[in-house]
Amino acid sequence: MRAMVGRRFWVLLLLPSLLFLVLFFYYPIALILLDGLSWGSLSSVLANPYYRHVILFTIEQAIGSTVLTLLLGLPGAYLFAKYDFPGKRFLKALLTVPFVMPSIMVALGFILLFGRSGFITSLLGRDLGVLYSWKAILLAHAFYNFPVVVRMVSSLWARINPHYEEAAESLGARGFTLFRRVTLPMLYPAIFASSMLTFIFSFLSFAIPLILGGYRYGTIEVAIFTSIMTLLDFRTGAALAVLQMGLSFTFMYLYLKSLDAYSKAEEQRVLQRPRKLTLSDFRGLRGAGIVLYSLIVFLFILAPLLAVFYDSLTSSGHFTLKWYRHLFESSYNPIFGSDSLHAVIWTFVFGFSTVLLATLIALTMSYSSRRWDLPGKIIFDVLATLPLGSSAIIIGLGYIKAFHRPPLLLLGSPFLIIAAHTTIAYPFALRAVSAALKKVRPSLREAAMSLGASDLLAFLKVELPLAFGGIVVGAVFSFAMSVAELGATYMIYQPKYTTVTIAIYRYLGSRQFGPASAMAVVLMLVSMAGFLVIERTGEEVW
Partner 1 sequence: MRLRLEGIRLRREGFELNIPELEVGEGEFMTLLGPSGCGKTTTLRIIAGFERAEGRVFFDGEDVTKRPPYERNIGIVFQDYALFPHMTVFDNVAFGLRLRKLSKAEIEREVREVLSLVGLEGLENRYPEQLSGGQQQRVALARALIIRPRLLLLDEPLSNLDAKIRERLRGEVKRVQRELGVTTVYVTHDQEEAMAISDRIAVMKDGRIIQVGRPLELYYRPKDEFVARFLGTGNILLLEAKNGRACLGSLCFDTEGEGKVRVFFRPESVFIMQGEEADVVDYELLPGRMRLFLEVEGQRIVAERFIPELPFSPERVPKKVGVRVGDYLILSP
Question: Does the footprint of partner 1 cover residue 465 (CB under 8 A)?
Answer: yes
Query: Do the beta carbons of residue 142 and residue 218 sit within 8 Å?
Result: no
Query: Do the beta carbons of residue 466 and residue 440 sit within 8 Å?
Result: yes
Stretch that binds partner 1, among 70-78, 195-203, 388-396, 436-444 (CB under 8 A): 436-444
Question: Does the footprint of partner 1 cover residue 246 (CB under 8 A)?
Answer: no
Question: Does the footprint of partner 1 cover residue 379 (CB under 8 A)?
Answer: no
Minimum Å gap between C-beta 542 and partner 1 is: 23
Half-sphere exposure of 302 (CA within 13 A, CB side): 10
Minimum Å gap between C-beta 5 and partner 1 is: 11
Minimum Å gap between C-beta 538 and partner 1 is: 13
What are the C-alpha distances in Å from 502 to residues 109, 228, 341, 416, 513?
16, 18, 13, 16, 14
Quick one: 299 or 444, whose CB is closer to partner 1? Answer: 444
Query: Do the beta carbons of residue 474 and residue 537 sit within 8 Å?
Result: no
Question: Does the footprint of partner 1 cover residue 443 (CB under 8 A)?
Answer: yes
Query: Do the beta carbons of residue 326 and residue 340 sit within 8 Å?
Result: yes
Backbone angles phi, psi at 359, to 5 degrees: -65, -40
Residue in 450, 496, 529, 536 binding partner 1, rule: CB under 8 A: 450
Minimum Å gap between C-beta 442 and partner 1 is: 9
Question: Does the footprint of partner 1 cover residue 455 (CB under 8 A)?
Answer: yes
Quick one: 55 or 472, whose CB is closer to partner 1? Answer: 472
- List, in sequence order, every residue forming a beta bridge with 319; answer none if it has no partner: 314
d(CA 114, CA 39): 43
Quick one: 170 or 443, whose CB is closer to partner 1? Answer: 443
Question: Does the footprint of partner 1 cover residue 3 (CB under 8 A)?
Answer: yes
Binding to partner 1 in span 17-36, by CB under 8 A: none
Question: Does the footprint of partner 1 cover residue 466 (CB under 8 A)?
Answer: yes
Residue in 462, 473, 486, 520 binding partner 1, rule: CB under 8 A: 462
User: DSSP letter at 511?
Assistant: T
Quick one: 3 or 378, whose CB is closer to partner 1? Answer: 3
Stretch that binds partner 1, among 46-54, 156-164, 188-196, 448-456 (CB under 8 A): 448-456
Minimum Å gap between C-beta 266 and partner 1 is: 20
d(CA 253, CA 247): 10
Question: Does the footprint of partner 1 cover residue 11 (CB under 8 A)?
Answer: no
Question: Does the footprint of partner 1 cover residue 441 (CB under 8 A)?
Answer: yes
What ranges in 277-413 are assigned the alpha helix state H? 285-312, 322-327, 340-371, 377-385, 392-402
What ranges in 22-48 are assigned the alpha helix state H? 27-36, 39-47
Residue in 448, 484, 504, 526 binding partner 1, rule: CB under 8 A: 448
Minimum Å gap between C-beta 377 and partner 1 is: 17
Best CA proximity match to 301, nearest among 528, 128, 83: 528
Question: Does the footprint of partner 1 cover residue 446 (CB under 8 A)?
Answer: yes
- DSSP-assigned letters across all residues of 137-189: HHHHHHHHHHHHHHHHHHHHHTTS-HHHHHHHHHTT--HHHHIIIIIHHHHHH
Question: Does the footprint of partner 1 cover residue 407 (CB under 8 A)?
Answer: no
Quick one: 446 or 535, whose CB is closer to partner 1? Answer: 446
Quick one: 285 or 378, whose CB is closer to partner 1? Answer: 378
Strands 318-319 and 314-315: antiparallel
Minimum Å gap between C-beta 439 and partner 1 is: 11
Total binding residues toward partner 1, as defined by CB under 8 A: 22
Residue in 6, 162, 185, 509 binding partner 1, rule: CB under 8 A: 6
Quick one: 341 or 466, whose CB is closer to partner 1? Answer: 466
* Residue 452 amino acid letter: G
User: DSSP letter at 451?
Assistant: T
Question: Does the footprint of partner 1 cover residue 451 (CB under 8 A)?
Answer: yes
Instruction: Taking the CA atoms of 34, 14, 483 and 104 in sequence, report the sign of the dihedral they define.
Output: negative
Residue in 12, 444, 525, 529 binding partner 1, rule: CB under 8 A: 444
Burial class (CB in 10 A: 0-12, 13-18, 19+), 108: buried
Residue 317: left if φ>0, alpha if ψ -120 to 50, beta else—which one?
A: left
Residue in 215, 452, 511, 538 binding partner 1, rule: CB under 8 A: 452
Backbone angles phi, psi at 160, to 5 degrees: -70, 120
Query: Do the beta carbons of residue 187 and residue 83 sit within 8 Å?
Result: no
Quick one: 322 or 377, whose CB is closer to partner 1? Answer: 377
Interface residues with partner 1 (CB under 8 A)?
3, 6-7, 441, 443-444, 446-455, 457-458, 461-462, 465-466
